[in-house]
A and B are shown apart, each in its own frame.
Chain A
Amino acid sequence: MTVATIARASGICRSRFQIYVPILAVASLLLGNLASAAGTPAGTVIDNIAEVTFDLNGTTATQQSNVASITVEERIDVVVTLQSGQVLVAANDANRSLLFSVTNTGNGSETFSLAIDSILAGDDFDPVPAVPAIYFDTDLSGDFSAGDVAYDPGTNDPNMAADESVDILLVNDIPSTALNGQIGRSELSVAAGTGSGAPGDSFAGQGDGGVDAVLGSSGGLAVQFGEYLVSDVQMSIVKSVLVNDQFGNQDPIPGATLTYTATVEVTTGAATGAAFRDVVPTGTTYSANSILLNGGALSDAVDADLGELDTSGAPTVVVRLGDLSQADGIQTIIFQVTID
């Protein structure tokens, strides 16, 4: 019999268990609510106590085990996604932005540094980063605007909790030499402040609450580019509405007919596959077979002619204008609805 055996069975030890158990129960409730997509928060201590019940000499007894604990380390991971899709620009445009979303997919809070690179392979021209070139989309407009705060490396590096995201804009000018149809790429790279490198690399004591930080599959670094497409096409669309009620007046009352007239014109360049789409206004009902293109009637059905009423979502008037250039002149689209 060792002294350790005696100690384990001693009353002091047992009473400690009794205190420990209720604390554990409370901690469990709190931690359960904190679990997130990024995983169990870094620094969480998970305790385990087993229990045995048994009958000895006709008496039922219960005994608890020691506490086996594990501590959750911090996993550093980051993801960058492009939100803006391909951005249409013209040569000489200034301050054109690409929108990215940066998400801390690790399980602890982390500070990230941001960098832009607009000299990339695989494109036709190099966008020219504005000064400064990286902004927080502070007003969440999705576009570069006056309210957006510039990123200042080392000063306002975004610190994000697990699962938190921040929208970042890369702002570039389009060179005058960019030609219609050309693509220019610009890239956002995001690196964890604790460090980046090979997945599995560890930073002792650098995680939340002093736990070790370990690089996840991203290696603490995420890179994503976006594209500018030079499109010299400029169009003008003018829409007007005429009210005719059933009493011969121009009052917008239920039953009145609204005649919408839209004029579409390419003012610069040539558009390919142009389509006019206009959602039928809420509170009105589309008047069947009322679409006219340059005076010619188009059926509502999805068929060979250029127009239709698309009812796959909210009823939408669609006129497929196709390839259109300045030489085609003004296209006039008319359709009618009645007020419900």
Chain B
Amino acid sequence: MKIFMKFVVLAFAYLCAAMAFAQGSGHLELTTVVQKEQISVDDDGKQQKELVQAATVLPGDSVIYTITFRNVSQESAENVTITNPVPVNLTYESGSAFGPGTVIEFSVDGGKYYSVASELTVTENGEVRAATADDYTHIRWIMQNDLAAGAQGVARFRARLN
């Protein structure tokens, strides 16, 4: 009986795993968290910054978005590209986008056209000028290599609440 129960439990576990794999196949797991820096003082009176979950913010506050992506399939994923809009009411902070093994591009037109920061322009009153961080509407991270089965990557940026 005990052995049978063990078997049932084990079978259920396998089933769960199989279901997860079935769901996961053809998928990447993608999670985003938003955090802010909090300055705390340790016992020695030394200040240190730590990232804490940002549930609430005030105008002028900076928040950090971290996007984690993981290949939960059993195949290698190619052409992996992460896209994130600069959230409404926030302004992207220049130079803050980060993503190991990725080329980072920006859009100033709601995600229709992307380019690296140095080549992006804005047409204003008929005049073409270099785009600035204030102009960015979207950010994307293009992975340079394939994402192997089970591998994960991270993309991050910082923005300030208007």
Interface size classification for chain A? 35 or more
Q: Are B32 and A211 in contact (CB under 8 A)?
A: no
Complex interface: stretch among B65-73, B115-123, B126-134: B65-73
Q: Which residues of chain B come closer than 8 Å to A107, judged between CB atoms?
A: 58-59
Closest to B17 in A: A1
Assess A73 versus B58: contact at CB under 8 Å? Given A56-B75, A68-B33. yes
Residue of A nearest to B149 (CB): A56
Instruction: Judge whether A70 and B56 touch: CB under 8 Å.
Output: yes
Across the A-B interface, how many residue pairs have beta carbons closer than 8 Å?
A: 142
Q: Inside 8 A of B26's CB, which chain A residues have their CB?
A: 56-57, 59, 61
22-59 of chain B: CB within 8 A of chain A = 23-24, 26-34, 54-59
Of the residues A1, A51, A72, contact of B59 by C-beta under 8 Å: A72
Cβ–Cβ contact A9 & B27, under 8 A: yes
Interface residues on B, range: 35 or more
Neighbouring A residues of B19 by C-beta, 8 Å:
1, 6
Alpha-carbon distance A59/B87, docked complex (angstroms)? 29
Given known pairs A10-B23, A46-B87, A70-B55, the reply for A52 and B30 (CB within 8 Å) is: yes
A156 contacts the other chain (Cβ, under 8 Å)? Answer: no
Q: Of residues B54, B56, B90, B155, which shows the largest number of chain A Cβ atoms within 10 Å of its Cβ?
A: B56
Q: 1/0 contact trace for A1-26 toward B, CB 8 Å?
A: 10101101110000000000000000
Q: A9 CA to B20 CA in the complex, in Å?
A: 8
Expressed in whole angstroms, the minimum distance between the Cβ of B102 and any Cβ of chain A is 12
B89→A52 contact, CB < 8 A:
no
Q: Is the interface of A mostly helix, strand, loop or mixed?
A: mixed
Alpha-carbon distance between A62 and B55 when the two chains are bound, in angstroms: 27
Whether B57 lies near A9 (C-beta < 8 A) is: no
Instruction: Kindly list chain A residues whose C-beta atoms are within 8 Å of the C-beta of B73.
Output: 56
- Give CA–CA (A66, B65) in the complex, Å: 12
The distance in angstroms between the C-alpha atoms of A75 and B80, with both chains bound, is 40
**Contacts known (A50-B32, A52-B82, A73-B58); A9 close to B89, Cβ less than 8 A:** no
A54 B57 Cβ-Cβ under 8 A: no
A31 within 8 A of B: yes
Option from B28, B31, B57, B83 in Cβ contact (under 8 Å) with A72: B57
A5 touches B55 (CB 8 A): no
**Which residues of chain A come closer than 8 Å to B67, judged between CB atoms?**
50, 65
Tell me if A68 and B34 are in contact (CB < 8 A).
yes
* Distance, CA A67 to CA B65, complexed state (A): 11
Contacts of B161 in A (CB 8 A): 39-40, 46, 70, 72
Closest to A216 in B: B58
Given A5-B20, A38-B59, A72-B57, is A46 in contact with B89 using a C-beta cutoff of 8 Å? yes
B79, chain A: closest CB distance, angstroms: 5
Is B162 part of the binding interface, using a Cβ–Cβ cutoff of 8 Å? yes
Contacting residues, chain B, for A35 (C-beta < 8 A): 89, 162
- Report the Cα distance A3→B16, complex, angstroms: 8
Query: B138 → chain A, closest Cβ, in Å?
Result: 10
Q: Is the CB of B69 within 8 A of A52?
A: yes
- Residues 138-158 of A, flagged 1 when their CB comes within 8 A of B and 0 if not, give 000000000000000000000
Q: Which one, B29, B34, B79, B89, contacts A44 given CB within 8 A?
A: B89
- A214 contacts chain B at the CB level, 8 A cutoff: yes
CA distance A231 to B65 in the complex (A): 62
Interface string of B140-162 (1 = CB under 8 A from A): 00000001000000010000011
Nearest-neighbour CB distance to chain A for B142, whole angstroms, equals: 10
13 contacts between A and B (CB under 8 A): A1-B19, A5-B24, A47-B87, A50-B84, A54-B28, A55-B79, A56-B78, A65-B67, A66-B32, A67-B32, A68-B34, A71-B56, A75-B59
Binding site for A on B (CB under 8 A): 16-17, 19-21, 23-24, 26-34, 54-60, 63, 65, 67, 69, 72-73, 75, 77-85, 87-90, 147, 155, 161-162
